[in-house]
Structure 1
Amino acid sequence: MSNGQWEVVGKGKKSQNGKIKNKEEEKKSFKNGPKLEDIMPHSQIKSFYAGMEIDDDRKPAKENKNGSKKKKTQEKKAEPPKPKPPKTIEAAFEAMDPAELANIIATNKIRFSNAPLVWLKEVASFLNSKTQIEVEDPTFTNYPPTYPLSTLPTEIRTSLENVLQDAGKANAQLFFDVTLTALANDMSRGQSVNGHRLLLQMLANDYPEFCIASVQKSASLRNSYQNRPPIGLSLLWAFGQGGLTDFSVGLKAWQELFLPIIELKNYSKFVVVYLSNLLDRHAEMDNKVSLDQLLTMCDMVNSKRNSLPKDLSSDLIQQLTKYKDMYFSRSGNRLQVTFNQIMKKLPNQFLTSYNLDSYTRVLVESLVDCLEKDDSCNATWRQLFHRCTKQSATLLDFINSNWEELSSKLKKKSLKITVTEYKLVSADALKGKKKDETVIKANKICQDILDRMTSTRRFPWLWASFLLLISIGGLVSYDVYRVGGNFPKSASGKILNDLGVLEHSQRAWQKTLSTSARGYLWVETNAPIYYAQTVEICKPYAELSKDVFTVAYKKTGILYGNLKDYIIEKTPVVVATIEHYAPGLVDSVQGYASSGYEVVKKYSSEYYQFTADYLKTKVFVGEWAPEILQTKTQTALNVTRDHMTTYFHWFRQQVNIYSEIP
């Protein structure tokens, strides 16, 4: 203590003037202190820093950080480039590791042994993560119907089929319904759903009935997302997968889930296209359509056709025609009930063949099919005259307008009875005070049909005239030949002489021969000239045709090459599919084919050798020996050539002689 005051003792440092310095002042003084550049020369500074870089332990912190950053950058550059993500579902399947999928399935089976749904959900998550490809068309219109399942590698497909089978049918059906909901929910969140699509397609392929097991739930799910076309179309695509293997499932799915939204613009085309593909796919298979199904289809199409655009309405009617043909191809020959039901569906008015709309035309064609396949339908038709007078007139007019096509299909005897009886019914109707114009027209149609059936065929006058001329010419030639070629002495000449026209006939004949001879000489002289001119004119067109043919040939070659490559590419997929559904079938067929080929080759060779030996020893001997036949053939050719030469010289002489006759 000095000056009578207390002093504060602390750890603070004093400055030159006795004041305490705080930390901030120390930092400022450190910063404001002398710099290394002010003390050392520039050349020594450079060597000083170089020495610091040699000793890693003495590096400043900043230098260590920069150095570590440089090392990390170099390590990143040395890493191999990452593979590009696949752009298609096929490429994603090819890049998928089967071992990884098998490991996930095995692990989940151990961890959740009593929860098969957990296995399947984990598999779906794995597939979704590996196939994150944006799909523009959720219905895969431009791909085969079995896409994308058809592009799945065999190992992965086998693993998926095994886990679905191990889960059991009940769990698989529950998983199918859960996956439909997951498909819609994940699409609404913008997540990848290609794994869901694949599993739904596999389940529908193995169990088609899953697609229509819960129609009400499926319809409710469809209604919830029908205002979002990508999701709605994806759901319809999944509902329709069962129709690839089972026609009845596909048809019910179309009627219950597709048809109710056919009027919506975003769904109309796909609904019609699905029905077309379904009918085309099962047209050749043994799928029987019942009468109730046919009538139901007719009612559905009739109720929806007017609400569609014209082109789609026409396509829908075309599918109804296919469905009708499928019914009649397997309906048998008892169609009286069918005729009765369809006749009542016709409009209660007379429609001519030219005024029939496309739907009514299908109904009328169905009635004609009934008459063609079951003759007893004529009796059923006659019983409906009084109740279906105008409908019957429509059918009669159609038959009359298409008589050339239908006459060979219908039984004329029964049809004649039907038409005659209908004509009597029409006559009774005409007795009233007010004459129905429809009945008058129908009466005229009946008369036209009866006239067609009773009229005889037209006589072939042209052919008859030609044969008559040939016959007369032959008889006259034989008559002249019989008297040595002297026409006046022949019976024909004597008749003409008695009639006084022999001289005129001979003069006309000579004039004909003279004119023909001059024409032949003119043709012989001028034909080469006109031929050369024709060739000269047609040469550019011939060259053009040649070029067109060459281009077409090359295009055909390219098409053939593309088709060949496509077959080569798809053959393993087809073989794998056959092997999956019928193990060992391909090998068996190949074995049988190879054995059959060897047997045919063996016996063909033996029979050929036997036939050759038989012909050499039993047939071509003596007068039929090859050398004698060769000599006779050569002699016959020489004689024929001599005769042709002699005839040509004679013909030339005759031409020269007759050409000089005035």
Structure 2
Amino acid sequence: MSSGQWEVVGKNKKSQNGKVKTIKEDEKKPTRNGPKPEDVAPPTKSYYAGMEIDDPKANGKKASKNKKKAEPPKPKPPKTIEGAFEAIDATELANIITTNKIRFSNAPLVWLKEVANFLNSKTQIEVEDPTFSTQDPLYPLSVLPAEIKSSLETVLSDAGKANAQLFFDVTLTALANDMSRGQLVNGHRLLLQMLALEYPEFCVASLQKSASLRNSYQNRPPIGLSLLWAFGQGGFSDFSVGLKAWQELFLPIIELKNYSKYVVGYLSQLLDRHAKMDATVSQEQLLAMFDMVNSKKGLSKDMSSDLMKQLSKYKDIYFNKSGAKLQVTFNQIIKKLPNQYLSGSNLDPYNRVLVESLVDCLQRDDSCNATWRQLFHRCPKQSATLLDYIDSNWAQISPKLKQKSLKMSVTQYKEISVETLKGKKKDETVVKTNKICQDILDRMTSTRRFPWLWASFILLLGIAGLIAYDVSTVNGNFPKSATGRLLNDLGILEQSQRAWQKSLSASARGYLWLETNTPIYYAQAAEIAKPYGQLSRDAFTVGLKKAGILYGNIKDYVVEKTPVVVATIEHYVPGLVDSVVGYTTMGYEVVKKYSVEYYQFTSEYLKTKVFVGEWAPEVLQNKTQSALNVTRFHVSSYFYWLRTQVDVYSAIP
């Protein structure tokens, strides 16, 4: 350092003879500023694995452009679930399933979880509507490619039903947890849907646990709706499962604003899908549904109206498969109506469905009229509501009901109303229902009665017309007619002619008078005789009712005692009943056989021996038609002539 030169510190390079090699001047230049750029810069070309690679920095823009051209274009991510399904490699899925089956041969749940993770990773699509309300009810399974669907069905089947059910419960929880963490769960949705459609009972196997899971997330609508969607998938395969899920898991939260639309919409889908299939509803389910729907009062007007429409569909399914024994159903439903008279706008949608159900009972089981009459004293105002509905919708309802039974019921109810009106306090309901009953009876009472008076008068005119026709055949010369010759032989021809002219004149004027005044007097006579006719009809109705009760009692007695009698006979004379039944059956078969044979023989004989030639059916038909045409022509001519004669003779003083 004393010489002002930099010295190299370290080992000196020695020559072969051990002397120190001196450093040249150019090697002693200071290195205070570090090495030169060219000393540390990488070469323009390098070699890697035997391949020559251009350096981007050295080649500049040209190298950058060449590298961009060499990269393949990146595929665009799918924007829909359908596109994501189409992009899944079926071979890759099959390899994952096979690998996991080999590695975890005794752990089917691991296979299924790996499949769920794979599907979630391949379907990273944001779902705005977790219930897919605008899609097919079986969406997204309905758009899944067949090859992928087959692989998933195989792995679910290989896992076994017990493991599949456990996986279903686990996946429900995973669906909620992953959504709460902001993850996409389309794979979970797909597998839950497949399991629910294959094993519908999974959806209602753990109702308490499902309800608890729903309650935990009901304040987060996307998660809550996703859970409801999963619970309801089994209903599209099994109506009873869907109905139970709706009643236990959907209906309790129908009053929540974010859920009411989907709850009602799911019930509509369920009923529409199964209405034309083998869906059945028991009486207990119907009554329970009425009670559950009536307990939900917090719905908006539109939602309440839609729910009542679904309730009407539900009761139609019950009545379409209920059979003909509906007395108990009628008894239970009429008691659900409020104990007050409802009419017109006072009949809300729920009570309207109840009244429609009562009409369905009366239509399908006529014995419900007897049950209804027994309830008049206990349910008078409910019965008044039903009568008012029948009267207000008479054109639609009357063809469905048996007029005779309905008339009996209305008549009896009117009698009860009249008894109530006799009291000091006249209830307005009783007054109104009495008018309704009378209106219904007037509708059912036929206004076309046989006109006996007119018939008698026309008969007399007919006789007179025949005599007049007899006279006209001899050009009006009465003495030469058959009637005139008869009277001449009797010695009363002259008196008969005068009487004949007088009778024709009086009859013609009387006919014209009656034609004008009879309707007036007939109406007055009908009004006077109406109470007596009503009394007669009531007496006949009561007698008929008593006879029907007597017949029913005798029938029930015979039905009740027949087994006892048969058992007694069998006890004392074993085999007698069977023998009688056997001989009776044999005799019936013999009679049936020979009756058929004789019928065929007789029919063939008549066809080949009797109804031939002039007696052939075609000839007889033509002759009959000709006779009818001639008769019709003569009758028309006669009545025209008779009316002309009436006008002529009415002018004679």
Q: TM-score normalized by structure 1? A: 0.61
**Deviation (angstroms), 1:448:** 1.2
| 1:272 match | 264
| 1:376 match | 367
Corresponding residue to 2:148 among 140, 156, 160: 156
| 1:361 match | 352
**Deviation (angstroms), 1:323:** 0.6
| 2:323 match | 332
| 1:237 match | 229
Q: Are 1:112 and 2:90 counterparts?
A: no
Contact 1:116 1:171 in 2 (8 A): yes
Corresponding residue to 1:177 among 146, 169, 175: 169
| 2:306 match | 315
String of CA shifts for 1:39-72, please: whole Å, max 9, x gaps.
xxxxxxxxx99xx979979xxxxx9783499868
Give the Cα–Cα distance (whole angstroms) in 2 for the partners of residues 74 and 171 of structure 1: 55
**CA-atom RMSD in angstroms:** 3.0
User: Structure 1 residues 15, 137: CA separation in 2 closer, same or farther (over 3 Å shift)?
Assistant: farther
Contact 1:352 1:397 in 2 (8 A): yes
| 2:136 match | 144
| 1:133 match | 125
| 1:223 match | 215
In the alignment, residue 278 of structure 2 is paired with which amino acid?
D
Percent sequence identity is 75
**Deviation (angstroms), 1:406:** 1.5
User: Structure 1 residues 430, 176: CA separation in 2 closer, same or farther (over 3 Å shift)?
Assistant: same
User: Structure 1 residues 433, 87: CA separation in 2 closer, same or farther (over 3 Å shift)?
Assistant: same
SS in 1 for 2:285: helix
Give the Cα–Cα distance (whole angstroms) in 1 for the partners of residues 65 and 445 of structure 2: 102
String of CA shifts for 1:130-172, please: whole Å, max 9, x gaps.
1111111110111101111011111111111011000000000
Q: Are 1:403 and 2:356 counterparts?
A: no
| 2:416 match | 425
Give the Cα–Cα distance (whole angstroms) in 2 for the partners of residues 123 and 107 of structure 1: 11
Contact 2:44 2:55 in 1 (8 A): no
Give the Cα–Cα distance (whole angstroms) in 1 for the partners of residues 434 and 45 of structure 2: 122
Corresponding residue to 2:335 among 344, 347, 371: 344
The unaligned stretches of length 5 or more in structure 1 are 1-12, 37-47, 58-62, 460-662
SS in 1 for 2:106: coil
String of CA shifts for 1:411-459, please: whole Å, max 9, x gaps.
1111111111111111222232222221121111111111111132699
In the alignment, residue 202 of structure 1 is paired with which amino acid?
M
Corresponding residue to 2:249 among 242, 248, 257: 257
| 1:415 match | 406
User: Structure 1 residues 54, 247: CA separation in 2 closer, same or farther (over 3 Å shift)?
Assistant: closer
Give the Cα–Cα distance (whole angstroms) in 2 for the partners of residues 201 and 295 of structure 1: 31
In the alignment, residue 373 of structure 2 is paired with which amino acid?
R
String of CA shifts for 1:280-333, please: whole Å, max 9, x gaps.
1111012111111111111111111x3111111100011001111111111111
Give the Cα–Cα distance (whole angstroms) in 1 for the partners of residues 292 and 247 of structure 2: 8
Give the Cα–Cα distance (whole angstroms) in 1 for the partners of residues 257 and 29 of structure 2: 79
Give the Cα–Cα distance (whole angstroms) in 1 for the partners of residues 245 and 84 of structure 2: 31
The unaligned stretches of length 5 or more in structure 2 are 11-26, 48-53, 451-653
Contact 2:6 2:30 in 1 (8 A): no
SS in 1 for 2:424: coil
| 1:516 match | none
Corresponding residue to 2:427 among 427, 432, 436: 436
User: Structure 1 residues 15, 21: CA separation in 2 closer, same or farther (over 3 Å shift)?
Assistant: farther
| 1:445 match | 436
| 1:492 match | none
Contact 1:353 1:394 in 2 (8 A): no
**Deviation (angstroms), 1:187:** 0.7
In the alignment, residue 107 of structure 1 is paired with which amino acid?
T
Give the Cα–Cα distance (whole angstroms) in 1 for the partners of residues 290 and 193 of structure 2: 30
Matches within 5 A, 1:457-536: none
User: Structure 1 residues 418, 28: CA separation in 2 closer, same or farther (over 3 Å shift)?
Assistant: farther
User: Structure 1 residues 159, 417: CA separation in 2 closer, same or farther (over 3 Å shift)?
Assistant: same
**Deviation (angstroms), 1:125:** 0.5
Contact 1:184 1:235 in 2 (8 A): yes
String of CA shifts for 1:453-479, please: whole Å, max 9, x gaps.
1132699xxxxxxxxxxxxxxxxxxxx
Q: TM-score normalized by structure 2? A: 0.61
Contact 1:120 1:164 in 2 (8 A): yes
In the alignment, residue 415 of structure 1 is paired with which amino acid?
L
Count residues with an aligned counterpart.
425
SS in 1 for 2:175: helix
SS in 2 for 1:307: coil
**Deviation (angstroms), 1:111:** 0.7
User: Structure 1 residues 193, 28: CA separation in 2 closer, same or farther (over 3 Å shift)?
Assistant: farther
Contact 1:93 1:131 in 2 (8 A): yes
In the alignment, residue 420 of structure 1 is paired with which amino acid?
T
Contact 2:6 2:28 in 1 (8 A): no
In the alignment, residue 387 of structure 1 is paired with which amino acid?
R
Give the Cα–Cα distance (whole angstroms) in 2 for the partners of residues 28 and 129 of structure 1: 63
Give the Cα–Cα distance (whole angstroms) in 2 for the partners of residues 118 and 76 of structure 1: 42
SS in 1 for 2:346: coil
**Deviation (angstroms), 1:270:** 0.5
* Off by >6 Å, runs of 4+ in structure 1: 18-23, 52-57
| 2:467 match | none
User: Structure 1 residues 30, 433: CA separation in 2 closer, same or farther (over 3 Å shift)?
Assistant: same
Give the Cα–Cα distance (whole angstroms) in 2 for the partners of residues 277 and 428 of structure 1: 50
SS in 2 for 1:155: helix
Corresponding residue to 1:66 among 57, 68, 81: 57
String of CA shifts for 1:213-242, please: whole Å, max 9, x gaps.
000000000011111111100000000000
**Deviation (angstroms), 1:22:** 10
In the alignment, residue 264 of structure 1 is paired with which amino acid?
L
In the alignment, residue 171 of structure 1 is paired with which amino acid?
N
**Deviation (angstroms), 1:178:** 0.3
User: Structure 1 residues 15, 434: CA separation in 2 closer, same or farther (over 3 Å shift)?
Assistant: farther
Contact 2:228 2:249 in 1 (8 A): yes
User: Structure 1 residues 32, 303: CA separation in 2 closer, same or farther (over 3 Å shift)?
Assistant: closer
| 1:637 match | none
String of CA shifts for 1:228-276, please: whole Å, max 9, x gaps.
1111000000000001111111111100000111111111100010001
Contact 1:14 1:20 in 2 (8 A): no
**Deviation (angstroms), 1:353:** 3.4
Give the Cα–Cα distance (whole angstroms) in 1 for the partners of residues 43 and 321 of structure 2: 96
Q: Are 1:293 and 2:257 counterparts?
A: no
In the alignment, residue 311 of structure 1 is paired with which amino acid?
D
